[in-house]
Amino acid sequence: MSGPDDILRNHMKEKLAAGAVVASMAVRLARSIEIAAIAKTAGFDTLYVDLEHNTLSIDTCCQICISAQQIGITPLVRVPANTPDYIGRVLDGGAMGVITPHVRSADEARAMVDLVRFPPLGNRSAGGALSHYQYRSFPAATLNSAMNRATSLVVMLETVAALENVEAIIATEGVDMLLIGSNDLCAEMGITGEFDHPRLKDAFTRSIAAAAKVGKHVGVGGLAARDDLMAQCVRMGARYVSTGTDLSFLISACQQRARFVQQMQP
C-alpha cells in the first residue's frame, strides 16, 4: 500500500523540516510555463505565483503550477482574497500550497485551515483526481492524508493586529508558516520603507520565537533589495526567503547590460 510520500512530495516542506534555508521567487510577469524550468535552473526551491498583485488568470497560474510540481519546484499561489473560489480552485488546479494575505487573528487562520485541509483537519472539498499525484486513484482516506501532508499553508503577517496575535496564529493546527510582509507591516506601523527600524527587527524576533516554540517556520518577504537584512533574518532563525520577482530580476539584468554598453569608450 502506498504511503503519503509515495503519492506526492512537497520538496519545500521537506527542506524546511531538515532545517535548511529555502529560496523562493515570485512570478508576476511570466505568462507561460517556461518560468518553472527557469526557476529550477536558477536554483530556486519554490516559486509563488502572485495573483494578489497582477492580472494573471487562474488558468495561466495553474499551468505554471503544474509545470513546477512535475520538475520538483514547489508551486505556491498568493491568492488575492482568502475565499474558497480562489483557494479551492488554485489548489485543485496545481498549487501545492497557498499564501494567504492579511491574516490578522487565530480565528482567521483557522478559517484558512478549513479551506486548505481535507477532513479531518479541515473541510476542503474533494475535487476528483489531481495533477499533484498524476491523476492516479487511491482510497479517499489515504489521499486526504497525503494531500494534507504535502500542502503548505503560509499565512502572511503584514498588520499590527497579526503581530499582536502572532503566537496564537502560528500555533493554529494546520498552519505551516508565517510570511512576514515587510512593506505592508512597516506601512501599518508608520515606518514606511524604514527596513532598518528596530520595530521591524522586533517583529521578526517575536515571530521567529513564536514559530520555533511550536516547531514551525517564518519566511522573509519584502526585503529583496536588502541582502544584508535577509541574511540577518536567516541568522535569527527565518528559513524561507522571498528573493524577488521575475519582473525585478529582468529589470535588474537589463539595467546592468545597458549600463555596460553605455559606459563603453569608442
| Catalytic status, residue 53 | yes
C-alpha cell belonging to residue 118: 481535507
Sign of the torsion formed by the C-alpha atoms of 1, 138, 97 and 6: positive
Residue in 137, 211, 134 with CA at minimum distance from that of residue 180? 211
- Four-residue CA torsion sign, 92, 94, 96, 97: negative
Write the CB contacts of 220 (distance below 8 Å, at least 6 apart in sequence).
179, 180, 182, 204, 230, 233, 234, 238, 240, 241, 242
Q: Point out the catalytic residue in the list 11, 53, 102, 217.
A: 53
The strand pair at 46-50 and 217-221 is best described as unpaired
Q: How far apart are CA 120 and CA 8, in angstroms?
A: 19
Contact present, 83 and 58 (Cβ < 8 Å): no
Q: At what angle do helices 198-213 and 227-236 cross, to 10 degrees?
A: 30
Which grid coordinates belong to 62?
495553474
Residues 6+ apart with CB under 8 A from 57: none
What positions carry a catalytic annotation?
Answer: 53
